[in-house]
Amino acid sequence: MNEQDRDRMKKLLQQALPPVEGDAGPERDLWPGMLRRMDAEKAAMPLTGWACFNGAWFDVALLAGVVGLVAIFPAAVPVLLYYL
């Protein structure tokens, strides 16, 4: 492809897809959308460390109860497995 071909292709391309004019900016402030995105991502993140105990104290208490029950009555394990 020589220089002439290249210029012809460039002209054709610019006619088919005109360059974006000047300082194209968003029509509205995108910060509220950014905040929504950040909140959504934070909510979807898996909880780690102590953070997982903040919102799930009931689950933790239930788990502790089950562990305690199994420790005191090992014979209850098959019954628990049956109901799981």
Q: Which residues bind other proteins (CB under 8 A)?
A: 1, 5-6, 8-21, 23-27, 29-31, 33-34, 37-38, 41
Q: How far is the CB of 55 from other proteins (least distance, A)?
A: 21
Q: How far is the CB of 46 from other proteins (least distance, A)?
A: 15
- Say which residues have a Cβ less than 8 Å from residue 66's Cβ, sequence separation at least 6: 80
For other proteins, which is the closer residue by CB, 21 or 54?
21
